[in-house]
Amino acid sequence: MKEKDPLDQLVSIILTKPKYQNIHPDFIRHIGKQELVKRTNLKEAVKATRSKLHQVGAAYFDCKPDYSARQAQMKGLSKDNENNKLKAFCQLVMQNHASSRERLPILKTFFNETLAKLTPITSVLDLACGFNPLAIPWMPLNKNSCYLAYDIYHDLIAFINYFFTYTAVKGKAVTANIITDIPHSPVQIALLLKSLPCLEQFEKGISRRLLNKINARHLLVSYPIHSLSGKSKGMRENYTRQLNELIKYKSWEVERFDFPSELAFLIHK
């Protein structure tokens, strides 16, 4: 009897754990393949893969979101993105994720300031989106704008699609491994909000590849200026250098925006 492929075994083992069962298998496979090369046996590779999956996703959640409960809450709310109760609900959901929670104090100004020159925005590509789409009520979007969102979590993506349908947003959320499958849909602007440092941990050079290959006229790239533990460690200066290096030989125009909890760059390709 043919022995099962170690990579298939690794993916199967990871997917049995509730913490990781909603992650796109291709993403697990991508990381697992790297770890099998580095480690001496399957057990070590599984452990290392779990650790990396925690870093990229689980570490940002305070607890596992109860999407069914959130959908039930949504049903009693207005479908108007300008409604204050719907906005309060969106903020409540975004509280559950460290990245979007950090942006809440500046939510009213973040998108208006960074995207002011591009309004009205007609199409958005949101990569490694997390709960970013729930910030749509604060984004200067055209009424009929198209919003495409990508992330590695099946349950999160299902929730985002429910939100799109409920609020009549012309949008689509997709589960994908953007490291290997970069979307090619042409859009006005692509969002890479605090995602590049994390992606670089798994694929060196992915930042440059994404910036080059994303089919968008504009890119809004942002970086965290504090770690999850709250330390800054000169992150603002470090990420400024990184971004400058990424666009070093490009003729792109870049605008910089400094916020108390985030550093953002609007790139015009």
Q: Within a domain: residue 27?
A: yes
Closest by CA to 239, choosing from 195, 202, 269, 203, is: 195
Q: Are residues 20 and 139 in the same domain?
A: no
Helix (H, G, I), strand (E, B) or coil at 5: coil
Q: Could you report the per-residue pLDDT of 17-30, keeping only the tens digit for each?
A: 998 999 999 999 99
pTM of whole model > 0.85? yes
Q: Could you report the per-residue pLDDT of 7-17, keeping only the tens digit for each?
A: 999 999 999 99
Q: Are residues 111 and 52 in the same domain?
A: no
Indicate the residue type of 239. Y
Contact of 118 with 189, CB cutoff 8 Å: yes
pLDDT bucket at 1, cuts 50 / 70 / 90: very low
For the beta carbon of residue 75, count every other beta carbon within 10 angstroms: 8
Q: Are residues 91 and 35 in the same domain?
A: no
Q: Are residues 73 and 152 in the same domain?
A: yes
Closest by CA to 155, choosing from 16, 5, 23, 11, is: 23
Q: Are residues 152 and 180 in the same domain?
A: yes
Q: Within a domain: residue 62?
A: no
CB environment 158-179: b (16+ within 10 A), e (fewer): ebbbbbbeebebebebbbbbbb
Contact of 161 with 229, CB cutoff 8 Å: no
- Give CA torsion, residues 182, 160, 223, 57, to 10 deg: -80
pLDDT bucket at 46, cuts 50 / 70 / 90: very high
Output the domain CATH number for residue 103: 3.40.50.150
DSSP 194: S
Domain that holds residue 179: 67-268
CA 102 from centroid of its chain's CA atoms: 14
For the beta carbon of residue 259, count every other beta carbon within 10 angstroms: 17
Residue 192 in this model has a pLDDT that exceeds 60:
yes
What span, in angstroms and rounded, lies between the C-alpha atoms of 93 and 87?
Answer: 10
Contacts of 81 (CB under 8 A, 6+ apart): 87, 136, 137, 167, 169
Q: Within a domain: residue 208?
A: yes
DSSP 21: T
Q: Could you report the per-residue pLDDT of 62-71, keeping only the tens digit for each?
A: 778 899 999 9
Q: Within a domain: residue 47?
A: yes
Domains of the chain: total? 2
